[in-house]
Structure 1
């Protein structure tokens, strides 16, 4: 398999609270991490950068070769990031109360492992279908799951930005983990809610399905969200699973 990564950040605010990076461990396995920070002034910027770089640095020191071990590792690494972000907020008054979402994926030879906290999402686009692989840790999603409101109502709910889990909470934070097989032709999308609040899943799928380059797909996702009126930072990391030269 050939695996290609493309990422971009469309800046809509004076400060950018999103942060994204790609890392390799000691045996060459790639980890992609995306975060969307929250907090006053520059606190969200600090939270997202500290969490992503902390997780990435730990990954670079590993030699993990299986998604099962990566899933266990994710829980430990994200818990550590949670403690660092929380303690930093306690030490510096200007950073108090900061936090961040996290969504990350490690791509192995036949499978990928993912983990997330918050409402940044990961999608799989396969055979012209889009599947959301993460479940938002948000108040409105809990209301949707309980049947109190519809998905359409959630999109305009006044408390749609309230998270029920984030990195930077006191104590421990629950981390969702999973692993899936992939195949040639798949696309894996990691994104902040700056994209998903503006573009419906079907529109995202349609753009990713277009016969354009990977870079153009990312650019079109960001410009589409901006054209739809996006006022938030929009961060997109798109992974293309291509066939080998023998396919």
Structure 2
């Protein structure tokens, strides 16, 4: 994600729209991964996912590829904003499998879009509805595979600041047997934080 940050730092003040800026940043990251795969052949079949939000003069925006997720907590209710770019999520949406099958399906981690692919042709970028008081959570599937949404909501509406809540979520995932990467970023979009 360092490459994404560097790209955004370089072009943040430009006239590029936020939609195009986020799409270009992730496509640039994809190019970086492809370059790395040419040098390090043992990584040629590896890919990664990404989710990010940006607050610029033209509003709040989100970008996402893969199965890392964006959630919004508003009025004490947790809502999943993104849809996973996995075979199972697509099959579930089309009615080919049910939620119980999706939870244990052997292809639940098979991505149809991710960074690190020559054929990447779609980065999901959309305007993000952000209101004062919202909290946004970006996370890897290492969290969502182990901790159900209702427990995530309970922790995010409970005591503590964003740091405390992130630590608590990571501990819940580990205690549930989590062995995958567990990454969580919480963004408090409160009125107090809008000018910073």
| Structure 1 length-normalised TM | 0.73
Q: Which residue of 2 aligns with 1:149?
A: 97
Residue 189 of structure 1 deviates from its aligned partner by: 0.2
Distance 2:32 2:85 in 1: 21
CA distance in 2 between partners of 1:109 and 1:82 (Å) = 26
Secondary structure of 2:146's match? coil
Alignment of 1:169-180 (within 5 A): 169-180=117-128
The match for 2:142 among 183, 194, 212 is: 194
Q: Which has the higher strand share?
A: 1
Taking the aligned partners of 2:14 and 2:74, their CA distance within structure 1 comes to: 25
Over the aligned positions, Cα root-mean-square deviation in angstroms equals 2.0
User: Shift of residue 235 of structure 1?
Assistant: 0.8
SS in 2 for 1:244: helix
Aligned residue number for residue 4 of structure 2: 55
SS in 2 for 1:82: helix
- Distance in structure 1 (CA, Å) of the matches to 2:163 and 2:192: 20
Measure how far apart 1:184 and its partner are: 2.1
Superposition map of 1:196-211 within 5 A: 196-211=144-159
Separation in 2 of the partners of 1:92 and 1:74?
27
Secondary structure, counterpart of 2:173 in structure 1: helix
Q: Do structure 1's residue 70 and structure 2's residue 18 form an aligned pair? A: yes
Match of 1:218 among 139, 156, 166: 166
How far the C-alpha of 1:229 sits from its partner, in A, is 1.5
Q: Which runs of 5+ in 1 are unaligned?
A: 1-51
5+ unaligned residues in a row in structure 2: which ranges?
Answer: none
Larger RCO (CA within 8 A; separation ≥ 6)? 1
Q: 1:55 to 1:92 in 2, by over 3 A?
A: same
Q: Matched residues in 2 for 1:118 and 1:129: separation?
A: 24
Higher percent of residues as helix? 2
Q: Output aligned runs, 1:77-96, within 5 Å.
A: 77-96=25-44
Deviation at 1:65, TM superposition (A): 8.2
Look up the match of 1:100.
Answer: 48
